[in-house]
Chains A and B, each alone.
Chain A
C-alpha cells in the first residue's frame, strides 16, 4: 500500500520534472529573445550574463516601426495571408471533394503527386520558378506571391480535408440527390456545413504556415515585404560584419509573438488537424 503510494508520488514527481525541463528548454530561448530585445546593444554580451537587463529599453521597437517599416510589412502580410487562405481553401475544398468521392487510377496518382510535392525543397525549384515568374509578369506582385503561398498550403490542406470528407457518409448526399439537389447544391448545403470544423483547423494551421513562410517572399519579391523576411533587412553596424543582435531579437520577438498567441489559443484544433491528416492518409 505504502509502496504503491510512494510509486505514485515518484511517478507524479518525475512527470513534473520532465514537464518543467521540457518547458524550460522551450521557454528559455523565448525569454532570452525578449530580454535581448529590451537590452541596450552595449550590454548584450556582458559577462557575467545579466538575466535581467539593468537598463531596459524599447528603443529597438521604436526603431523598427519608424525605420524598418513594420506597419507596412504587417499590412502586406495580412493582405497576402488573407487572400491565400480564402482562395486556397476554396480550391482545396473542391479538390478534396474530388479526391474523396471519385476513385480512379489517375486521381490516385494526382493525389500522390500533390503529397510528394511537399517533399521537394524550395531551393530546388527556386531558379526555374524565378525565371518563370519574371516571364509571366508575376514576380514581385501580390498575385504572384499569393499563387505561391497557395501552392505551399495545398498539399497539407487537401490531405486534411480529403480525410474529413471521406468520413462524411455518402448516403447523406444520395438522399439530397433524391430530393433534387444539384452537384453544387450538395457541396454548398451539405458538405460545406459539415466541413466547418475541418476548415477552421486548416485555416489556423495555414495561417501559421503562411506567417512563418520565409523563402517565398524573400526570393520572389523585392518591393513587397512581409513580416517574416524583415529580419534580413536590419541595418548593419559600422563595420558591416557585426550583426545588430538587439534589433534582430526585437524583430524576432515581433515575428514569433503572434504565432505563440495563436498556437496557445488554438492548440487543440491544431493537434486535431495534424492527427486527422496523419492517421488517415
Chain B
C-alpha cells in the first residue's frame, strides 16, 4: 500500500512536471501589468476601477519592492525584448536608466497629448521622463514631495511662528539644539543623503550637475556648518535611513527635517497634527524649491498589445485614473487640475501650496543612478567627518558628474 502511494505520488509529480508549462498560458488577457502595488490592501479595488474604466482584462504580475532586485529584473525584461509584460510601473531611478534606451514607447502622441500635458509638473516631466530625443516615456502615477516637516511643539517652545527663510532656519536650528536634542535631523546614510544634498543645492539656487557653481559649494558648506560649526545636527546620522530618522523625530530628538509622504509614520505614532508634527511650506533660501518624485507607468516597446496599453495609460493619465489612485493608494494626483478637485484637508492644502508657491523639480539622476548616488554619498560623508574639505568635495563631485552623466 505504502509503495503504491509513493508510486502514485512520483507519477503525479512527474506528470505535473511535464504539463506544468502549459498551465499558465490558458487564460487570455488584454494586457499584462507589472506593478509594485499588488500587495496593497486596496489593490483589487483599484484594479476593478481600472478594468471597469477601460473595459480591459488585465493580468497582474507582482514586482519586487526591493529596489536592487527590481531594477535588475526590469532591466532584463526590457533589454531582452521580452513582450510578455506590456505596462511597467517604474520609479525615478529606473526612469533615469531607461528613458533614452529605446526600450520604452514614446507617449506624447498617444497619451500625453497637448491638452493634458500642461497639467503635469513640467519640471518632473523634463527632468525625469523625457528622453534625450525629447520623447516622453511615462505617465506619472502621482506627485510626491520631499517636504519640510516641523515639530510644532518645538516651534512654540522656542517662540517661532514659522520657518520662512534661511535666517529662520538657522535660528530655529540653533535654538532647538539643547539637552541632547537637535534642531535639524537628516538621514545621511550614503545612498539616502542624495535627496538632502539636492534639496539644499536647490534651496541655494545651485545646479547638482555643475559643481563649479558657487551656490553648490555654499550648500555643502551650510550642511558642514550645521554639523561642525553650529552643531545643530548630529554626525552619527550618517548611519541613519528614513526609519531611524523618523523615529528620532517622533521621539522629539529633532525639530525639523525633510521627508517624503503624508506623515503615516507620525500618525501611527500619535504624533501627527497641527500642534504636533506637520508639513510646512519649504523655507526660501535663495529659492523656494522642492523635489518631487513619482512612479510612472511606461509602455514596453516590445509589447504586442499596444492598443490596449494605450487605452490603459489614457485611463491612468485621466481624471478617473488619478482619482482612483488617490482614493485607493492615497497617492496625490500628478495632474494639477485633478488635484484641485480633491476635498480640502491639511495635506491637500499644503500640497496645493507646494505646487503653486515652490519650484518643483525632478531629482537629478543619471543612467547609472545607484553608482552615482553612492559615490556622492561617500564623499559627502567624508566631508562632514572632516576627512576631505568642501572644495575637495566639489572637485570630486564634478568628476562623478562627468563620469556618470
Contacts and interface: CB of A to CB of B under 8 A. Distances in A.
Q: Is the interface of B mostly helix, strand, loop or mixed?
A: mixed
A242 B38 contact: no
Contacts of A112: none
Given A42-B268, A235-B40, A143 B18 contact: yes
Interface in A224-245: 224-225, 229, 231-243, 245
Contact of A142 (B21, B242, B265): B21
A87 interface: yes
B260 A240 contact: yes
A127 B80 contact: yes
Interface in A57-79: 63, 67-68, 79
Contacts of A240: 91, 144, 260-261, 293, 295
Given A222-B84, A232-B69, A140 B24 contact: yes
B24 A87 contact: no
Interface in A213-269: 218-219, 222-225, 229, 231-243, 245
A84 to B, nearest CB: 9
Interface of A: 40-42, 44-47, 63, 67-68, 79, 82-83, 86-87, 126-127, 130-131, 134, 137-144, 146, 218-219, 222-225, 229, 231-243, 245
Interface residues of B, number: 58
B73 A141 contact: no
B76 A239 contact: no
Given A42-B270, A237-B265, 8 more contacts: A42-B250, A47-B251, A87-B13, A141-B21, A225-B62, A236-B65, A239-B259, A242-B265
Given A239-B260, A245-B243, A141 B330 contact: no
B247 interface: yes
A223 B24 contact: yes
Nearest to A40: B268
B24 A44 contact: no
Contacts of A233: 38-39, 62-65
Interface string B136-170: 00000000100000000000000000000000000
A239 B261 contact: yes
B303 interface: no
Contacts of A41: 265, 268
B359 interface: no
B262 to A, nearest CB: 6
A141 B24 contact: yes
A47 B265 CA distance: 16
A134 B91 CA distance: 26
A44 B61 CA distance: 30
